[in-house]
Structure 1
Amino acid sequence: MLNNERGAAVRPSFSRWLSQTNDITQQFMAMGVDPSFISMAGGLPAAEFYPVAAAAEAADRALSRWGAAALEYGPVDGFMPLRAHIADRMSRMAGRHFDTSNVLLTVGAMQGLDLIGKVLIDEGDRIVTQYPTYVGALDAWRPRQPVYTPLDWGKPGTSVETLRSAKFVYGVPNYSNPTGALVPTPARAALLEKALEADTWLVEDDPYLPLQYDGDAGPSMLALDGAMMPGGPYNGPVIYLGTLSKSIVPGLRVGWVIASPDMIAALTLAKQSTDISSSMLTHAVALELLEADIEKVHVPGMVGHYRERRDALCAAALETLAPWFEWQVPSGGMFVWMKARNSTIDTGVLYARALREKVAYVPGSVFDPAGVDTSSMRINFTRNAPDVLREGARRLAVAAKDAFG
């Protein structure tokens, strides 16, 4: 048990989590300072594709346009012109009207997850979530000690009774982290229908929508629900999280929550106790970039590079890792989810061997709320060039042969 300087005990479950997190963080930091190390562990965009010149021009325009207002403390719920722009953006995306009462700007979508935990979760509350699930969500909610039930997107799927017993449902239907899976539209509609019947909040985390390589994602659950509602501000059960971190740059730290006005008001109060105000400067810069249609210019080229990297990794893995693992080629997102072909393969054991070969991934247990998945691993393909990914797959194969024969 950890103790602070005044002797107050830190909760044991949080202490264990903090210790594990520190170990992982220190390993990733060590990789970053070694140029010979190949990390396919992080969920990171490729820095060489960041629109640096466009961001610099947008910053100049933002300061000229807004002056000292861009350097001030601002409203807790964010820069009003950017909120209005996001409301219009989401209205076009969802095919129904949203206004600023439906929009809260956050410090990345991750802050939205944290605020949802603050507003909704009490110790022992049940969350229905897809397995495996986003580790950032688990980290955000772990200090509140909820319990988890797996979400089944299929037929017949998770029951209404199970949803009714939960505080909320959490899903990443578009190119999920960590699996890269795309949930079909009928499965989204079925889950929404059950959430409506159960009167349960439905958290839709959608950071990877811009990264589509093959085909379209289909309508969001927010859009499916909005289409069934009359006009006026959206007042449904979906809490939608979006971000600019994957489509433009993560350093802006601009995300948003779309939800009913009452939920936005509650989340805003929670945010006030967290940071008082987001950065008005980054909001103003983000607005300039969006008004200049940077995504139309920037995203297609970036997606083309990412598609090439995905294909390079999957082709190299087919030549090197297929004896031990199987996977689906993702149609979008940033990750390939590899599953062991037999029970003798433990990706936690493999991880130690991989580090010796100077290559890294994330073991599947990290994405399992119970921490018992030892047969899977997540590999990121967006951060590294194709030749680096091919070498990384080769090193992983050496480690796998050493570990499992």
Structure 2
Amino acid sequence: MVSGADFPARRPGFARWLSASNDITQQFLAIGGRPDFISMAGGLPAAELYPAAAIAEAAQKALARWGATALEYGPVEGFPALRQFIAERVGRQAGRSIGPENVLLTVGAMQALDLIGKVLIDPGDPIVVQFPTYVGALDAWRMRAPSYRLLDWSPDADSQALRGAQFVYTVPNYSNPTGVLVPTAARQALLERVLAAGTWLIEDDPYLPLQYSGAAGPSILELHGRMAPEGPYDGPVIYLGTLSKSIVPGLRVGWVIAPSAMIQALAIAKQSSDLSSSMLTQAIALELLESGHEEQHVPTIIRHYTERRDALCAAARSELAEWFDWEIPPGGMFVWMRRRDPAIDTDALYQYALREKVAFVPGSVFDPAGKLTSAMRVNFSRNAPSVLQEGVARLAAATRHYLRKNS
């Protein structure tokens, strides 16, 4: 008989899952539910801004309109009417022809990252990632065991680093974790290197609606459209979007835009994962989009998030400027703070922050090698300005205690 204690050792796959778990990620997700803690860790929208009444109305309309169709298993590729809507919307945004055959609806953009890993990564395959890298992408691909190369955004960078890579992964708009907006010239140069190298480019764009100062500029998908001949879309950009930031995460509606052959491959991988995403939530999403609710709701989000971003940065100038540098992000949900004092290790500082009942995300979780201990990600979207001010004060107290103990 195999005992419970022996099970991981006797089942290597199970043991690999345990060793791959991200303890810090699990901790800050758990902390988010504790009333005595101030979490500035998770990349979460403001729950009090969720449009519950509009969603309830959309649900009634969706059921009246679609009936049992919205309650059935559906096509693996997603609710057909929503696929058509997303195809037309992304096509307008990108200035190119996109059809429903180029759209796969997913359970948020996270499922899209997981499916891309299943289709494109074998153990040891090289992939090129924007650095620092979204921790969700690293988690999605961890069990595929790729090797990592770090993306150089320089316009004159050599395309040789991209050759042989399965794909390049980017978050050019208000990147998670840094909040950086990549300039159009750098996007264009990267696209040209991708085309020269003959690989895929994953453009993950969840934060596009969250623009606080200035515009994001053209997507890489749009830049490719300016270069490409007319006809069916054939890549190399695989574009990811979601409603989690512009409406609510609970709908779990995201999408992939890709050549039809890639959509078919991803759909096969998806079928073995969930058979069919919720037709009901996709029908509700369609009602919200067709009614123009997203366009009405996003300005409210932006108004509140701008106030919260500014409150966080003002508090940081007062409390943290002695130890950290940062830029005010033009969009997104995060401020990326980099140490001024080389004595600060943000992995170690995190433990002191927990004692002060405040949480952030250390930079190491955004590094494939886990070595980035000079920075931290601080979220501003979830908490009211007064809570953010208290959270920064606690973080300053933690930093003082850490430096006293480690000087």
Tell me the TM-score range normalised by the shorter chain: over 0.9
CA contact (8 A) 1:2 1:10 kept: no
Cα offsets for 1:21-50 (capped at 9, x unmatched):
4x6414531x24431210000000001111
Greater shift in the superposed pair: 8-17 or 262-271: 8-17
Please say if 1:40 is aligned against 2:40. Answer: yes
Matched residue SS, 1:10: helix
Residues 6-405 of structure 1: matches in 2 within 5 Å? 7-10=10-13, 13-18=16-21, 20-21=22-23, 24-26=25-27, 28-29=29-30, 31-157=31-157, 159-405=158-404
Greater shift in the superposed pair: 256-265 or 227-236: 227-236
Code of the aligned partner of 1:251: G
Consecutive unaligned residues of structure 2, counting only runs of 5 or more, are none
TM-score of the superposed pair, with normalisation by structure 1: 0.96
TM-align CA RMSD: 1.6
Cα offsets for 1:174-227 (capped at 9, x unmatched):
000000000000000000001001111000000000000000000000011122
Q: Percent identity?
A: 64
Q: Note the C-alpha offset of 1:60.
A: 0.2
Q: Note the C-alpha offset of 1:160.
A: 1.3
Code of the aligned partner of 1:327: W
Cα offsets for 1:45-79 (capped at 9, x unmatched):
00111111110000000000000000000000000
Q: Note the C-alpha offset of 1:229.
A: 1.7
CA contact (8 A) 1:177 1:335 kept: yes
Cα offsets for 1:208-252 (capped at 9, x unmatched):
000000000000000111222222221120000000000000000
Matched residue SS, 2:270: helix
Check 1:307–1:187 CA distance in 2 against 1; reply closer, same or farther (3 A cut): same
Q: Note the C-alpha offset of 1:8.
A: 2.6
CA contact (8 A) 2:28 2:41 kept: no
Matched residue SS, 1:227: helix
CA–CA distance in structure 2, aligned partners of residues 2 and 160 of structure 1: 49
Check 1:28–1:87 CA distance in 2 against 1; reply closer, same or farther (3 A cut): closer
Consecutive unaligned residues of structure 1, counting only runs of 5 or more, are none
Q: Note the C-alpha offset of 1:343.
A: 1.6
How many aligned positions are there? 401
Matched residue SS, 2:129: strand
Code of the aligned partner of 2:117: G
Q: Note the C-alpha offset of 1:131.
A: 1.0
Code of the aligned partner of 1:397: A
TM-score of the superposed pair, with normalisation by structure 2: 0.96
Matched residue SS, 2:168: strand
